[in-house]
Chain A
Amino acid sequence: GESVGLHLPTLSVQEGDNSIINCAYSNSASDYFIWYKQESGKGPQFIIDIRSNMDKRQGQRVTVLLNKTVKHLSLQIAATQPGDSAVYFCAENIVGATNKLIFGTGTLLAVQP
């Protein structure tokens, strides 16, 4: 079946560097994408979302890019901080699927001081 996947299961970056976390999706009918952050022992926390009629959206220190041609989603974190260390995963919502999100397995971001 179609699913959301991540290219890199673990990403290690230096504090202050920019981080890029990638996500590939295979369902061309998906029209809404969300990035969540999950810290150890906690529930997923909404970071940013993007709709399929956009290719870029910016938040505070985060940017999500959507490339529908190659079905690729990325999360960019500027000036990565130790508090950014967490598992990040993307989720997609398929048109007509009434908010039944499909989640990826996650990428662990480890920020080195």
Chain B
Amino acid sequence: NAGVTQTPKFQVLKTGQSMTLQCAQDMNHNSMYWYRQDPGMGLRLIYYSASEGTTDKGEVPNGYNVSRLNKREFSLRLESAAPSQTSVYFCASSEALAEQETQYFGPGTRLLVL
């Protein structure tokens, strides 16, 4: 039982390039989330998916798109990367999108945009 996995672990992009961050969970969770973590700031929610087939914007969605491919997988896409998107990205999942459902995190993807 691997929990939440993310690929790649590290990525360097040039401004304007695109890429997709992959996330998968094997806990049969319904809800999944994408966060970014920047120095001196708490985790900020980019997008979330309450259940398969649904996605919603979080606190900082601009410049990102997401796809809930199936119940297991939730991908984050940067269409045209900018230096301001240099960050560590974390995927998380929870059993449901309900209050007081614990979120479990993946190991993160470290992205540098030059």
Contacts and interface: CB of A to CB of B under 8 A. Distances in A.
Interface in B67-114: 90, 94, 96-108
A105 B40 contact: yes
Given A34-B102, A45-B105, A93-B99, A104 B42 contact: yes
Interface of B is mostly: loop
Interface residues of B, number: 26
Given A43-B90, A43-B107, A102 B102 contact: no
B72 to A, nearest CB: 17
Given A43-B106, A46-B102, A93-B99, A100 B45 contact: yes
Interface residues of A, number: 28
Interface of B: 4, 31, 40-45, 48, 50, 58, 90, 94, 96-108
